[in-house]
Amino acid sequence: MSTTITDADRGVAERAMGIGLRGLNWLAGSDLLDRIRIRKGLERALFQGTKSGFRTATVAGRTFKAAQSLGKPARQSRSQSKGLFDVTPDDEQAMFQEAGRAFAAEKIRPAAKAADDERATPPEILAQAAEIGVAMLGVPAELGGVVEEGAATTAALIGEALAHGDMGIAYAALAPGAVATAIGLWGSAEQEATYLPAFIGEDAPAAALAILEPRPLFDPLKLATTARREGGDWVLEGAKSLIARAGECELFLVAADAEDVGPALFIVESKTKGLTIEDEPAMGLRPAATGRLILEGARVPASAILGESRRADYVECVGRARIAWASLSVGTAQAVLDYVIPYVNDRHAFGEPISNRQGVAFTVSDIGIESGGMRLATYRAAARADRGAEFAREAALARRLCAQKGMKIGSDGVQLLGGHGFVKEHPVERWYRDLRSAGVMEGALLV
Amino acid sequence: MINLEIPKKYKPLATQANQVATEVFRPISRKYDEAEHSYPKELDMLASLIDGMNEGSDLGGAGATGVRRSANGSDPGENRNGSNLSTVLGVIELCWGDVGLLLSMPRQGLGNSAIASVATDEQLERYGGKWAAMAITEPEAGSDSAAIRTTAELDGDEYVLNGEKIFVTSGDRADLIVVWATLDRSKGRAAIKSFIVERDNPGLKLDRLEHKLGIRASDTANFTLQDCRVPREALLGDPEVKEKGFAGVMETFDNTRPLVAAMAVGVTRAALEETRRRLASAGVEIDYDAPALSQPAAAARFLEMEADYEAAWLLTLQAAWMADNSKPNSLQASMAKAKAGRTCVDVTLGCVELCGAVGLGETELLEKWSRDAKILDIFEGTQQIQLLIVARQLLGKTSSELR
């Protein structure tokens, strides 16, 4: 614990303790705040956390009602770079990154094996993640969001940090935020007023950005799920795959090929008729309790189509999701590197540490080199998104690297441990399964 | 704030370098690939121009400004973009034009980089404005530069050098050769020093020029040093024999590895751009929105190669940026060199394969780039040496534990 506590720290800590929020208590009481400067972002996160402590949550099928109507939709502010090349996060980003890392190390990693076995993330971990503000990273500051600017980069840094703990848990924790981010980026003022307030604070609903479909060579721009016009409504048909906590979701953003529009996102509340959830266990991301959403004649009002349903918005959404999955791959790849280094140094064969052999050592080098490239490519794409620059190319390349090099790293992680890597005593086999999953996912998360 | 783009202030430099590459290098690229060992006289005027660029600002030219980390830097917390980054950006553009010609640029040799990095003010005064090559490799000492056998013996006010040096880039054309030699072979790496030898020194005998797979515009010389006498002041850096001395010599490589990585990045981009055009004319467009695997195989392969290029480019810029910000970058410099070197070889060969006969044919430059590429994964530390350096750092191993 710290010996020097600043006034800012004390203020935060006292407020946190005063309302008895354990997660905040943890955050405020850890050494974390002594190492990093408190800035507006955290203050606001805590303020929002405090506010939501008084709200009564209706867990299943809450009613989303427009709280206020702004004239025009609020948007994230674009980041104002000085135009210099820089690999360091700004103070606010560093703070979220540190919080994410500490949370991942102290809470997520220890819970990962059981969560993988049981295909469930403990509710207290989801609650603590919410207290860091993961569900509202993409909510515009005007509407109570905690991130001033650079939200995509911040989300990528948090995704990386949490996935270092466990990718499946990170997916479970971050998935609802994708819906809030999408509505905050592309939703109408009415949609923002209706849905975003629920995501402010720690009581965010389970929600999912459902794009992926269960078929080979899936292309998010060529959807099999359809939306046809019928009497002023939209009627949706299709199936969406590998949705985190599908059974708990209160809100879906469903990608469908809309009549006369093309690919677009639809806001579908869980109480809508014609929705069924099927369990869909997969080789990876098991703590997210993945399920499939089946839409059969699911009728939603004309107003359910997200924002102005521009194709460019949808394409941007697909790209941002790829950056998010790339960031998770980076975190898990780093976990592999951090795990194999002490292992190959300690493990002896032929009378010396196996890391004294180039065949082993060079594999470690390659993990370091490729994960470094993956990380920079991911950051570049996210930072471009924050500035409002084109990022389709950068997102595609980050995804390629993460699908390919990320999987190689997952495979090498198991290989370096040999038979020990193949058994569940070590986490590398889990990371092998998760890194394959990350390269396949579309949608579901956003930066 | 994270921003991994070419900084605004260096965009004019990159544009200028690209114009040089387009207008000066590309038109004579094939000519000097064919006319190996003949001096590209077109470079003289350009070299003067680059001297001018090096003079006034931190807009380094082809990398020979070296790295002098100023002690009285600005606020340590403040992000800096300086000569390391600008040099890397310039080198990428010029090598997009032709890497062999960049290596042939007068006064832009590796020796210049070494002199600029470690010379005393007197040495800078004396040798400034000259073209300096670097002579490290010997027939029996390649990657293992601590094993060099060329000796330097103090005789009065002169050192007497004896030995054999191979693979000296620009060795025939340069004014000076920076020769690595040992003061005492029994003292190992601590005794290894570098000496500035004038090209017309009678003790420095040119044995031959190599015929090579690539970078044929650049001359590669082999020398014999026979009782080659140089003044005492020709020893670069500290004459004391101590363990840290060799580390100092090797640190030069922390600064030059990102430059070689930048060369590889430039060649890689050239091949990718040409291949993208060729594929487009064959009806294959690269789509960044569609998944790679639902596109034609050629497009998927291209995306894979471009992704490797992106990683190499970013690792290279990162290594240079760290040097600008006085962050230790030995690990990142080796990572960049390893990634860029192998990417350059894989991508240029992949581009030849994708373009078929057009790729192989000498009417285009694709085949040349794939020949030029290979040296970039070899000199300034081979792929394997970079992997060793990276592994030792990541694993916390000494060179005796991980050999």
* B387 and B313 inside one domain: yes
In angstroms and rounded to an integer, the radius of gyration of the C-alpha atoms of chain A is 21
pLDDT of amino acid A371: 98
Q: In angstroms, rounded to a whole number, what is the distance separating the alpha carbons of residues A185 and A317?
A: 9
Range in A328-332, A347-351, B191-195, B388-392 the model is least confident about: B191-195
* Residue B387 contacts A where some CB pair is shorter than 8 Å: yes
Q: What angle do CA A173, A176, A180 make, to 5 degrees?
A: 135
Domain termination residue (choose one: A304, A328, A352): A304
| Confidence bin at B159 (pLDDT 50/70/90) | very high
Active-site positions of B? 380
pLDDT of amino acid B70: 46
Range in A127-136, B17-26, B290-299 the model is least confident about: A127-136
Name the amino acid, one letter, at B169: T
Q: What angle do CA B171, B177, B181 make, to 5 degrees?
A: 120
**B306 → closest Cβ in A85, A397, A405:** A397
Q: Cα A267 vs. chain centroid, distance in angstroms? A: 19
Least Cα separation, residue B294 to chain A (angstroms): 6
pLDDT of amino acid B58: 43
Does residue B56 form part of some domain? yes
Cβ separation A361–B306 shorter than 8 A: no
Three-state DSSP string of A419-440? HHHHCCCCCHHHHHHHHHHHHH
Domain termination residue (choose one: A140, A166, A199): A199
Which 377-416 residues of chain A touch chain B by CB within 8 A? 377, 379-380, 382-384, 387, 392-398, 400-401, 404-405
Does residue A70 form part of some domain? no
| Confidence bin at B55 (pLDDT 50/70/90) | low
Give chain B's length: 403
* B43 and B164 inside one domain: no
pLDDT of amino acid A50: 40
Contact A306, A187 (CB under 8 A): yes
* A181 and A217 inside one domain: no
Contact B170, B103 (CB under 8 A): yes
Does residue A103 form part of some domain? yes
Which 53-92 residues of chain B touch chain A by CB within 8 A? 79-81, 85
* A17 and A157 inside one domain: yes
Residues of B in contact with A368 (CB under 8 A): 331, 335, 390, 394
- List chain A residues with pLDDT less than 50: 1-5, 7-27, 29-41, 46-59
Domain termination residue (choose one: B118, B139, B160): B118
State the pTM of this model.
Answer: 0.90
Please classify residue A419 by burial: count the beta carbons closer than 10 Å to its beta carbon, then call 0-12 exposed, 13-18 middle and 19+ buried: exposed
Instruction: Give the DSSP letter string of B201-247.
Output: -TTEEEEEE---SS-TTS-EEEEEEEEEEEEGGGEES--S--HHHHH
* A187 and A219 inside one domain: no
- Is the dihedral angle over the CA atoms B158, B163, B169, B174 positive or is it negative? positive
* A225 and A336 inside one domain: no
* B182 and B291 inside one domain: no
Which 4-43 residues of chain B touch chain A by CB within 8 A? 4-9
* B146 and B253 inside one domain: no
Does residue B401 form part of some domain? no
Domains in chain B, number: 3
> What CATH number does the domain containing A270 carry?
2.40.110.10
Give chain A's length: 447
* A322 and A433 inside one domain: yes
Shortest CA distance from A353: residue in chain B: B401
Which range of residues forms the domain containing residue A356?
311-440
Domain termination residue (choose one: A272, A304, A336): A304
> What CATH number does the domain containing A374 carry?
1.20.140.10
Does residue A66 form part of some domain? no
pLDDT of amino acid A69: 62
Does residue A3 form part of some domain? no
pLDDT of amino acid A124: 94
Does residue B54 form part of some domain? yes
pLDDT of amino acid A1: 37
Does residue B185 form part of some domain? yes
Contact B90, B58 (CB under 8 A): no
| Confidence bin at B249 (pLDDT 50/70/90) | low
* A319 and A357 inside one domain: yes
Residues of B in contact with A319 (CB under 8 A): 289
* B334 and B211 inside one domain: no
Does residue A445 form part of some domain? no
In order of A117, B61, B86, B174, the CA distances from B109 in angstroms are 60, 11, 17, 8
pLDDT of amino acid A364: 98
* Residue B147 contacts A where some CB pair is shorter than 8 Å: no
* Phi, psi angles (nearest 5°) of residue B143: -60, -30
Range in A44-58, B130-144, B382-396 the model is least confident about: A44-58
* B53 and B167 inside one domain: no
Those residues whose C-beta lies under 8 Å from the C-beta of residue A27, and which sit 6 or more positions away, are: A16, A33, A99, A102, A103, A131, A132
Does residue A276 form part of some domain? yes
Nearest CA among A74, A209, A66, A49 for reference residue A134: A49
pLDDT of amino acid A14: 41
Look at B305 and A11; give whichever has higher pLDDT: B305
Residues of B in contact with A155 (CB under 8 A): none
Range in A85-89, A118-122, B206-210, B236-240 the model is least confident about: B236-240
Which 79-118 residues of chain A touch chain B by CB within 8 A? 79, 81-90, 93
**B288 → closest Cβ in A344, A372, A396:** A396
Nearest CA among B338, B369, B366, B349 for reference residue B261: B338
* B277 and B341 inside one domain: yes
Instruction: Give the DSSP letter string of A320-389.
Output: HHHHHHHHHHHHHHHHHHHHHHHHHHH-EETTEEGGGSHHHHHHHHHHHHHHHHHHHHHHHHHHHHHHT-
* B145 and B113 inside one domain: no
Does residue A186 form part of some domain? yes
B309-319: average pLDDT = 98
CA contacts within 13 A on the Cβ side of A322: 31
Does residue B53 form part of some domain? yes
* A133 and A22 inside one domain: yes
* A46 and A150 inside one domain: yes
> What CATH number does the domain containing B177 carry?
2.40.110.10
> What CATH number does the domain containing A168 carry?
1.10.540.10
> What CATH number does the domain containing B18 carry?
1.10.540
Shortest CA distance from B322: residue in chain A: A87
pLDDT of amino acid A203: 80
Which range of residues forms the domain containing residue B104?
8-118
* B89 and B39 inside one domain: yes
Has residue B136 got a pLDDT over 50?
A: yes
* B333 and B347 inside one domain: yes
- 3-state helix, strand and coil shares in percent for chain A, rounded to the nearest 5: 55, 15, 30
In order of B35, B93, B100, the CA distances from B373 in angstroms are 19, 15, 10
* A20 and A148 inside one domain: yes
Size of the A and B interface in Cβ pairs below 8 Å: 182
Cβ separation A341–B8 shorter than 8 A: no
* B237 and B260 inside one domain: no
Does residue B1 form part of some domain? no
Cβ separation B321–A87 shorter than 8 A: yes
Shortest CA distance from A338: residue in chain B: B394
Q: What angle do CA A262, A263, A265 make, to 5 degrees?
A: 130
pLDDT of amino acid B48: 79
In order of A171, A177, A334, A389, B29, the CA distances from A167 in angstroms are 6, 16, 12, 28, 49
* A160 and A261 inside one domain: no
Nearest CA among A183, A182, A181, A180 for reference residue A203: A180
**A401 → closest Cβ in B307, B332, B391:** B307
- Is the dihedral angle over the CA atoms B31, B34, B40, B46 positive or is it negative? positive
* A187 and A218 inside one domain: no
* B155 and B109 inside one domain: no
> What CATH number does the domain containing B257 carry?
1.20.140.10
Nearest CA among A418, A442, A421, A444 for reference residue A432: A421
Does residue A58 form part of some domain? no
Does residue B402 form part of some domain? no
Domains in chain A, number: 3
Does residue B3 form part of some domain? no
